[in-house]
């Protein structure tokens, strides 16, 4: 970051801005809290921004001003929101904006604003991809765009962001929006999640994205459809075998069973691969998550309550003592046969919640 | 932790450059966060200086009894395939172990159980520092200054510091942040924003300065961010996420604003008439197949968003009514419990992510809310003792991070959740017959842990953090004062 303090006044001496009376920061009393010693340049730019916003000026010079402020403080949500309005009002070249965002996003990854801004720009460029976007759209440079090329650029840019941080929350949210907006459900997105999971089987964000790609499309059955379900269960089992003590695929497996309304006992043999209780001392346990699921499987079957209890006790005392309180709670629920804490029967409200969670 | 006063010049300088926190939610943790340019979250994660411990020769000490989760279970499953996540998790565990086992006490004074004391004065000094004049590096916080007011003033009050002296200064400071159209922005001339307004209103509540808030325009502004689908945007034209839902309902309830939408609220066109319309359903849509809560429908589960969801629902109605009504509570309980990490004992924000002290609050504070909604709950769902033995020698993300106001405030809140008892009084009214105000969030009761309980946690009486409201994250008295102040309602 350049040292702005050494620069000359940028706007005050510029004839282009001579018509603007900058609004200085209002008085905050004799002893304001957390007062920041702004550089002269930042204070000056903000003063001009206050004035143009008060006048609701949307012009080419305001684009330069907003860019200037963003480069000094990219977390300034107001200037991002105002810039979007100015871009649209001045029919600015939105492709250029995306190019600039590419550079900026790489520098400021943990930023809410930049991804929301990007979404505004891309949806403005292509408001309705389904209806021949090549000809429709508002009359500004960028209308008549090539949707496929835009999508390719966006998905590859996003993928490059994951090379820097494979779990960036905002970037994954944006990726979901791309899938939804451009209908990328069957266009290589599943393979993308597979590649992400292959890179790091513990990347929970990639698992969540896979769930979305499989189940998120409006009107789609997702894992309720047998063919899809079989594929997903097989995929998940393969990943669990790579790293049995990995919570992400176990959560995914539970999610499938519940959404598809399957009895948990359909994966009993699979769980036993990682927690064979027929061995003495319960020594053959390679995954606490397998024990947890087995406890639920046995709990539905009245004759096997003792086995469920054994799973929970093993978790509490040996394999997962940090959660001793939680396992104890589950044990008590088992004793009371209240069924709470034991997802066996898929009460209707659970199914409803899980279904609604993915039908956006 | 090290207070600003104790630091040498170079570390103070680093502190100044490290602009504390820009986001409400901690989301930066992995090891490779090399940034250039202005200070930004994540910058501070690379250890850059030697620990100060050589300045404080460590006495020979006997080790306390090591809890089973620190060594035993960590060894059980580690024959798994190595991936970037596994490596980062192992690195963090290794980094924390010397503190967990008290091999390194960083020269801190110890309590009667052999754990470091809660050092009230250095923590308080540290928070006061961020309320003072701040150097140029903090420009990156220019749009989130209200968070500094809240983190520091609330944090000080959690340490039993009287913050009422700050009342006039805070009122004068925030006056230009209030917009004529209602709500507060991050600074003069900035758009009103749910997070900035939430932080400002909470800070004002902490010092008893709510008179400066224009309630009528606040109500009108909130009407502009309520969405047809039931949720809230963070600002007009900004993103819609679950923070907006929690922040907006907190503001409405503390200030006792009418629940009815203003006449010109855009959501009226979608058939909505009240701020609460479709809100519970919208929160429910944020629960995912994993049982946890995402920032918006279908987004990944995240501990901070779980708190926003539970707290929002706990404002709408009694927790045992509203939480099971809109969420799969068993799946959520399982997910919340799963976020406590082995061996550290703190919480991670997402599965397979790293432990971070701020989640002591975001997840820790969830338990009082969800336990109040679970039938047959006796001893709680989580391991309070493990949190105490966590890296308590600083209010920071993890040992290799530098402390900041955000982590100090929320670590203190997390400690309070572990040390004290919070329960819901289900006999009290949930709606005020006169003003229509939602009262559920005001029905929480709290008491300090007993001497026996504190002994189990290895905490001395003087190390106990104040009672903190489980929904509004302020001292209970401050919340009660706001309840009384606006009892009459109206505008």
Average pLDDT over residues A311-328: 94
CA distances from B204 to A221, B134, B173, B213, B251 (A): 49, 21, 11, 9, 11
How far off is chain B from A196, nearest CA to CA, in Å?
12
pLDDT in tens, A125-160: 999 887 644 444 444 544 567 899 999 999 999 999
In this complex, is the C-beta atom of B65 within 8 Å of any C-beta atom belonging to chain A? no
How large is the C-alpha radius of gyration of chain B?
22
Q: Is the pLDDT reported for residue A10 higher than 60?
A: yes
> What pLDDT does residue A127 have?
92
Between A and B, how many residue pairs show a Cβ–Cβ distance under 8 A? Answer: 322
Average pLDDT over residues B418-428: 95
Residues 181-240 of B with CB under 8 A from A: 185-191, 193, 234-239
> What pLDDT does residue A360 have?
24
Residue at B22 is within a domain: no
Give the torsion through C-alpha atoms of B324, B327, B331, B335, to 10 deg: -120
Kindly list the residues from chain A whose CB atom is less than 8 angstroms away from the CB atom of residue B187: 25, 46
Give the percent of chain A with pLDDT over 90.
76
Active site residue B233: no
Residue A303 binned pLDDT confidence (cut-offs 50, 70, 90):
confident
Q: Which of B172, B189, B206, B236 to mutate to test the interface with A (most CBs of A within 10 A)?
A: B189
Beta carbons of B403 and B126 less than 8 angstroms apart = yes
How far off is chain B from A180, nearest CA to CA, in Å?
11
The phi, psi pair for A100, rounded to 5°, reads -65, -40
User: DSSP states of B379-431 as a string?
Assistant: S-SS-HHHHHTSS-SSSSSSTTSPP-HHHHHHHHHHHHHHHEEEEE-TTS-SB
**The residue count for chain B:** 491
Active site residue B404: yes
Residues A63, A103 share a domain = no
Maximum Cα–Cα distance across chain A: 88
Mean pLDDT across chain B: 85
pLDDT in tens, A15-67: 999 999 999 999 999 999 999 999 999 999 999 999 999 999 999 999 999 99
Residues A178, A108 share a domain = yes
> What pLDDT does residue B242 have?
98
Residue at B38 is within a domain: no
Listed as own residue / partner, the contacts of A149-155 with beta carbons closer than 8 Å and 24 or more positions apart are A150/A122, A150/A125, A150/A126, A151/A178, A151/A182, A151/A184, A153/A98, A154/A122, A154/A178, A155/A184, A155/A192
Residue at B18 is within a domain: no
Q: Is the pLDDT reported for residue A6 higher than 70?
A: no
Contact B381 A244 (CB under 8 A): no
pLDDT in tens, B361-404: 999 999 999 999 998 777 888 888 777 654 443 477 777 788 88
Element of type H or E holding B447: strand B444-448
Cis preceding linkage at B343, omega within 30: yes
> What pLDDT does residue B63 have?
52
Q: Which residue is closest to B196 within chain A, CA to CA?
A: A77
Residue at A260 is within a domain: no
Residues A179, A99 share a domain = yes
Residue B445 binned pLDDT confidence (cut-offs 50, 70, 90):
very high
What range defines the domain where residue A144 resides? 91-184
Residue at A242 is within a domain: no
Residue at B39 is within a domain: no
Three-class SS state of B183: coil
pLDDT in tens, B429-438: 999 999 999 9
Q: Which residues contact A267 (CB under 8 A, 6 or more apart)?
A: A233, A253, A257, A293, A297
For B299, which DSSP code? Answer: P
Average pLDDT over residues B247-274: 98
The phi, psi pair for B53, rounded to 5°, reads -60, -25
pLDDT in tens, B325-341: 999 999 999 999 999 99
Of the candidate ranges A67-71, B4-8, B76-80, the one whose mean pLDDT is the lowest:
B4-8
User: DSSP states of B62-109 as a string?
Assistant: PPPPPPHHHHHHHHHTTTSPP-HHHHHHHHHHHHHHHHHTTS--TT--
CA distances from B324 to A358, B78, B283, B286, B371 (A): 19, 37, 12, 14, 12
Residue A340 binned pLDDT confidence (cut-offs 50, 70, 90):
very low
Q: Which of B290, B367, B453, B457 to mutate to test the interface with A (most CBs of A within 10 A)?
A: B290
pLDDT in tens, B214-238: 999 999 999 999 999 999 999 999 9
Q: Which residues contact A344 (CB under 8 A, 6 or more apart)?
A: A263, A264, A296, A297, A299, A300
**Total domain count, chain B:** 1
Q: What is the 3-state secondary structure (H, E, C) of A289-325?
A: HHHHHHHHHHHHCHHHHHHHHHHHHHHHHHHCHHHHH
Residue at B370 is within a domain: yes
Q: Which residues contact A257 (CB under 8 A, 6 or more apart)?
A: A263, A264, A266, A267
Residue at B33 is within a domain: no
Q: Is the pLDDT reported for residue B155 higher than 80?
A: yes
Give the percent of chain B with pLDDT over 90.
66
pLDDT in tens, B56-73: 444 445 456 777 777 666
Three-class SS state of B198: helix
**Quick one: tokens of A343?**
């997802």
**Total domain count, chain A:** 3
Beta carbons of B93 and B438 less than 8 angstroms apart = no
For B446, which DSSP code? Answer: E
Kindly list the residues from chain B whose CB atom is less than 8 angstroms away from the CB atom of residue A163: none
Residues 127-156 of A with CB under 8 A from B: none
Beta carbons of B134 and B16 less than 8 angstroms apart = yes
CA distances from A356 to A232, A352, B317 (A): 20, 6, 22
pLDDT in tens, A194-236: 999 999 999 999 999 999 999 999 999 999 999 999 999 999 9
What range defines the domain where residue B272 resides? 60-485
Beta carbons of A165 and A115 less than 8 angstroms apart = no
Contact A34 B386 (CB under 8 A): no
Contact B342 A164 (CB under 8 A): no
Kindly list the residues from chain A whose CB atom is less than 8 angstroms away from the CB atom of residue B337: 323, 325-326
Contact A329 B130 (CB under 8 A): no
Residue at A281 is within a domain: yes
Which of A184, A207, A237 is the endpoint of a domain?
A184
Beta carbons of A342 and B334 less than 8 angstroms apart = no
Three-class SS state of B448: strand
Residue at B27 is within a domain: no
Q: Which of B32, B77, B137 to mutate to test the interface with A (most CBs of A within 10 A)?
A: B77
Average pLDDT over residues B464-489: 97
In this complex, is the C-beta atom of B378 within 8 Å of any C-beta atom belonging to chain A? yes
> What pLDDT does residue B64 have?
60
As a whole number of angstroms, the distance between CA B120 and CA B6 comes to: 14
Measured between CB atoms, which of A76, A216, A285 is closest to B142? A76
As a whole number of angstroms, the distance between CA B114 and CA B470 comes to: 29
As a whole number of angstroms, the distance between CA B224 and CA A77 comes to: 17
Residue at A204 is within a domain: no
Residue at B259 is within a domain: yes
Residue at A180 is within a domain: yes
Measured between CB atoms, which of B68, B190, B376 is closest to A336? B376
Helices (H), B175-271: 194-207, 215-225, 242-254
Residue at A76 is within a domain: yes
Residue A266 binned pLDDT confidence (cut-offs 50, 70, 90):
very high
Q: Is the pLDDT reported for residue A262 higher than 70?
A: yes
Q: Could you tell me the CATH number of the domain that includes residue B136?
A: 1.50.10.20
In this complex, is the C-beta atom of A236 within 8 Å of any C-beta atom belonging to chain B? no
Beta carbons of B334 and B289 less than 8 angstroms apart = no
Residue at A214 is within a domain: no
Catalytic residue among A110, A199, A279, A336: A110
Mean pLDDT across chain A: 87
Active site residue B166: no
């Amino acid at each position: 970051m350049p040292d702005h303090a050494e620069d000359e006044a940028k706007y005050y001496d510029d004839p282009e801005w001579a018509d603007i009376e900058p609004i200085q920061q209002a008085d905050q009393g004799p002893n304001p809290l957390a007062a920041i010693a702004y550089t002269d340049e930042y204070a000056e730019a903000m003063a001009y921004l206050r004035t143009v916003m008060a006048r609701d000026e949307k012009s080419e010079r305001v684009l330069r001003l907003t860019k200037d402020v963003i480069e000094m403080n990219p977390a300034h949500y107001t200037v991002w929101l105002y810039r979007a309005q100015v871009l649209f009002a001045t029919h600015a070249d939105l492709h250029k904006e995306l190019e600039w965002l590419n550079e900026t996003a790489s520098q400021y990854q943990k930023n809410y604003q930049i991804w929301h801004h990007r979404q505004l720009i891309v949806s403005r460029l292509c408001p309705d991809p389904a209806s021949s976007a090549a000809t429709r759209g508002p009359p500004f440079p960028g209308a008549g765009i090539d949707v496929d090329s835009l999508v390719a650029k966006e998905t590859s840019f996003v993928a490059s962001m994951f090379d820097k941080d494979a779990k960036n929350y905002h970037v994954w949210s944006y990726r979901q929006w791309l899938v939804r907006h451009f209908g990328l459900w069957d266009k290589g997105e599943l393979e993308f999640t597979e590649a992400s999971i292959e890179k790091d089987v513990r990347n929970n964000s990639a698992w969540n994205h896979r769930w979305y790609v499989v189940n998120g499309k409006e009107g789609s059955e997702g894992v309720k459809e047998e063919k899809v379900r079989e594929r997903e269960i097989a995929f998940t089992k393969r990943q669990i075998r790579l790293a049995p003590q990995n919570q992400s695929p176990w959560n995914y497996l539970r999610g499938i069973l519940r959404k598809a309304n399957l009895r948990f006992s359909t994966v009993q043999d699979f769980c036993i691969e990682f927690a064979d209780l027929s061995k003495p001392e319960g020594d053959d346990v390679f995954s606490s998550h397998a024990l947890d699921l087995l406890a639920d499987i046995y709990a539905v079957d009245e004759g096997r309550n003792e086995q469920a209890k054994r799973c929970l006790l093993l978790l509490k005392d040996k394999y997962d003592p940090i959660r001793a309180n939680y396992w104890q709670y589950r044990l008590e629920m088992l004793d009371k046969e209240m069924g709470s804490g034991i997802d066996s029967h898929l009460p209707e409200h659970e199914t409803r919640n899980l279904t609604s969670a993915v039908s956006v | 932790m090290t207070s600003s006063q104790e630091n040498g010049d170079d570390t103070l300088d680093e502190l100044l450059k490290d602009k504390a926190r820009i986001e409400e939610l901690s989301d930066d943790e992995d090891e490779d966060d090399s940034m250039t340019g202005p200070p930004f979250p994540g910058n501070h994660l690379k250890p850059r200086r030697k620990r100060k411990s050589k300045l404080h020769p460590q006495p020979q000490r006997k080790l306390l009894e090591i809890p089973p989760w620190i060594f035993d279970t960590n060894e059980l499953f580690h024959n798994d395939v190595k991936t970037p996540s596994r490596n980062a998790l192992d690195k963090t565990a290794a980094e924390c172990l010397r503190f967990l086992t008290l091999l390194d006490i960083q020269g801190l004074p110890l309590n009667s159980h052999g754990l470091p004391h809660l050092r009230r004065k250095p923590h308080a000094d540290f928070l006061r520092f961020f309320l003072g004049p701040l150097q140029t590096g903090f420009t990156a916080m220019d749009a989130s200054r209200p968070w500094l007011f809240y983190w520091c003033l609330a944090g000080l009050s959690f340490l039993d510091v009287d913050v009422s002296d700050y009342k006039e200064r805070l009122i004068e400071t925030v006056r230009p942040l209030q917009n004529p159209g209602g709500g507060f922005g991050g600074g003069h001339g900035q758009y009103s924003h749910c997070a900035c307004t939430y932080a400002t209103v909470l800070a004002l509540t902490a010092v008893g300065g709510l008179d400066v808030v224009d309630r009528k325009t606040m109500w009108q502004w909130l009407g502009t961010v309520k969405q047809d689908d039931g949720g809230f945007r963070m600002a007009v034209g900004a993103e819609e996420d679950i923070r907006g839902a929690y922040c907006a309902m907190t503001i409405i309830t503390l200030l006792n604003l009418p629940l009815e939408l203003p006449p010109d609220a855009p959501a009226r066109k979608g058939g909505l008439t009240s701020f609460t319309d479709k809100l519970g359903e919208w929160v429910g849509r944020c629960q995912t197949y994993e049982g946890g809560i995402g920032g918006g429908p279908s987004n990944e589960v995240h501990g901070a968003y779980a708190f926003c969801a539970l707290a929002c629902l706990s404002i709408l109605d009694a927790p045992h009514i509203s939480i099971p009504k809109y969420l799969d509570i068993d799946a959520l309980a399982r997910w919340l419990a799963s976020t406590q990490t082995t061996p550290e004992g703190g919480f991670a924000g997402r599965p397979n992510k790293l432990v971070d002290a701020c989640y002591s609050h975001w997840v820790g504070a969830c338990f009082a809310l969800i336990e109040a909604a679970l039938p047959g709950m006796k001893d709680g769902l989580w391991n309070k003792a493990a949190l105490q033995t966590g890296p308590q020698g600083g209010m920071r993300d993890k040992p290799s991070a530098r402390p900041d106001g955000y982590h100090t405030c929320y670590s203190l809140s997390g400690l309070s959740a572990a040390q004290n008892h919070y329960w819901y009084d289900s006999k009290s009214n949930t709606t005020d017959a006169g003003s229509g105000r939602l009262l559920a969030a005001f029905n929480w009761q709290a008491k300090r842990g007993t001497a026996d309980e504190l002994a189990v946690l290895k905490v001395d009486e003087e190390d106990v953090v104040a009672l903190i409201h489980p929904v509004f994250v302020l001292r209970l008295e401050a919340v009660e004062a706001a309840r009384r102040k606006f009892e009459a309602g109206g505008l």
